[in-house]
Chains A and B, each alone.
Chain A
Amino acid sequence: SAVISQKPSRDICQRGTSLTIQCQVDSQVTMMFWYRQQPGQSLTLIATANQGSEATYESGFVIDKFPISRPNLTFSTLTVSNMSPEDSSIYLCSAVGTGGTEAFFGQGTRLTVV
C-alpha cells in the first residue's frame, strides 16, 4: 500500500491569488492523479501527472489554470491559479502503485476562496 501526504490540509485564499498543493507518496508509484470535489459533488479528474513531462488534462481543465508538476516518482504539485470563489473545493491527490490494482488517496486540501 501507499501513504499519501497532502499539504496544506486547508486554506482560505483571496481571489486572484494562487495556491500550490503538494502531494508526497511514501513509495514509488506508477501514476498520480489530481481530483477536484466541489461542495456536495463527486470527484472529478483534473489531470494525470506525468513524471518528467506535461500533465494530461481532462476536458474542461487547462494547464494555465491548473499547472501540475511531477519531478519524480513520489512527488507532485497542483497549483490553482488566479483563484475565484468557484474554485472553492476539496482537491485530492491520488496515486496508483506498481501493482496497479488500487488507487490511494490523500486526505485532501479544502480550499476556500473569498
Chain B
Amino acid sequence: AQSVTQPDIHITVSEGASLELRCNYSYGATPYLFWYVQSPGQGLQLLLKYFSGDTLVQGIKGFEAEFKRSQSSFNLRKPSVHWSDAAEYFCAVVGGGYQKVTFGTGTKLQVIP
C-alpha cells in the first residue's frame, strides 16, 4: 500500500529565507506526487504535481519540488518565503490509474518577520 511521510510537523522560518519541506513516499511503481497547501479555515489548493518527465517541477506561488527516485523523496522548496506562505502543507501520493489520494501528516509552516 502507498504511504507518505512528512517528518517535520512544524517549521518556522524568517520572511525572505529559503524553505524546504520534506516528503518521503512508499509505492511500488512510479507514483503520482502532489503538494497541497491549506490556509487556516480554507480547503486544499494544489501547488504542484509530478507524473513523469523532468524531475524538477515548478508550481504556483514560486514553489518547486524535486522528485528523487533513489531517495523516494519529493521535497518542496521556495527560495524566499513570504508571510502569506504561512499555512499547512500536505504531500500526497496516488497510485497509477488515479485511485485514491493518500496524504502525509502535514507540515505547519510559520513565518516570522
Contact = CB atoms under 8 A, between A and B. Distances in A.
Contacts, number: 48
Interface of A: 4, 30-31, 33, 41-45, 48, 58, 92, 94, 96, 100-108, 110
Nearest to A104: B46
A90 to B, nearest CB: 9
Nearest to B45: A105
A30 B100 CA distance: 12
Interface string B60-80: 000000000000000000000
Helix, strand, loop or mixed for chain B's interface? strand
Interface of B: 32, 34, 36, 41-46, 49, 51, 90, 94, 97-98, 100-106
Contacts of B103: 42-44
A101 B90 contact: no
Given A33-B100, A110-B41, 8 more contacts: A33-B101, A42-B106, A94-B101, A100-B98, A102-B34, A102-B49, A103-B101, A107-B43
Contacts of B104: 42
Contacts of B42: 107-108
Contacts of A42: 90, 103-106
A45 B44 contact: no
Contacts of A48: 100
